[in-house]
Amino acid sequence: MPALFPEIDIAAAEARLRGVVRETPLAPFPSGDARIELRLKLECLQEVNAFKARGAWNQVAQLTPVQKADGVVCSSSGNHGQALAWAAKRAGIHAVIVMPANAYPNKIEACRAHGAEVVLVPTRADCDEEVARHVAAGRTLVHPYDAARTIEGAGTTGLELARQWPEVEVVLVPVGGGGLVSGIALAFARVHGYRTKVIGVEPAGAPTLSLGMKAGTPVTPKIDTQVQGLCPPASGQWNIDVARACVDSVMLLDDTAIFAAQAQLVNDGGWTVEPAGAAAAAAVFSGRFALESAKLLASRTASNPLRVAAVVSGGNPDPAQLAAVRARP
């Protein structure tokens, strides 16, 4: 049988990333349900505090000498931009990061701190037009999710998790554009042959991947969420195609559940987590996962729990928002 998506070589990406990115911990955490054994894949402790470092370096490491000389560009609300700025600095190349003006100020400054040129535009919708201008001038686009090499890098999170916990039965993954969930799902399909279920968790106000999976093509719904980092205008075609083949389902959560999970991870776990990074854990804490997974949990008990991993994808919250979370009783 031919390999599924042969253009995406996650094992090669893992070799490329070795010694550059960190192997992040898989930490036990109370699930609030005796039938669920929960462990958190802490990508909030990754380089630049986000899984995005994986895809950014995998892209930059494969640039040709001419591409390196001409520099790179991307659009980002924060973490991918910071990751590309970090990767470009490490490689000694120039990066332009196009960001919406309402991006978290700390993320804008983090991009600049790594030496990138930051271009602010009024809205997320304006980003693509500005990026296209830089691409026309010769820069290489490093897409935050809709690219085989970005998916390869993100997928190394899945290979790592599969080694850390071979018995894992369900993996919950935050969904923005879909690069992380598609990469992890493809990685587990190759390692476990679809034995492990991979479920995306997406804001109800930004259902771009779930709608894209139904349509088979990118869909641009009205975005109505405050969870920065999980609200692109549309998911990419690469992400939709891989997700349709490898992702078991996508669960929609409201913002309230996601922000509540962030508070739980920050105050009970002691980790610095942004709202987007808490979305997968929110599916468990809110009870939504148990509700939608009744069949999986039907015969499970405290002595035979369902083994569930949730990816904590990022740890770059707005400082004022984080301070407010920590101040809650």
Whether 186 and 156 have beta carbons less than 8 Å apart is answered as no
Q: At what angle do helices 237-246 and 148-164 cross, to 10 degrees?
A: 30
Rounded to an integer, what distance in angstroms lies between the CA atom of residue 24 and that of residue 21?
9
Question: Could you give the residue numbers annotated as active site?
Answer: 52, 77
Residue that the structure tokens 């083949």 belong to: 245
Q: Residue 25 corresponds to which tokens in the numbers above?
A: 């911990």
Cα pseudo-dihedral 254, 255, 259, 262, rounded to 10: 60
Q: Residue 136 corresponds to which tokens in the numbers above?
A: 């026309």
Q: Residue 284 corresponds to which tokens in the numbers above?
A: 């468990």
Q: What is the CA radius of gyration of the chain?
A: 19
Helix (H) or strand (E) segment spanning residue 163: helix 148-164
Q: Residue 285 corresponds to which tokens in the numbers above?
A: 């804490």
Paired with 171 in beta bridges are 198, 309
Residue at 299: amino acid letter: S
Vertex 200, ends 143 and 54: CA angle to 5°? 40
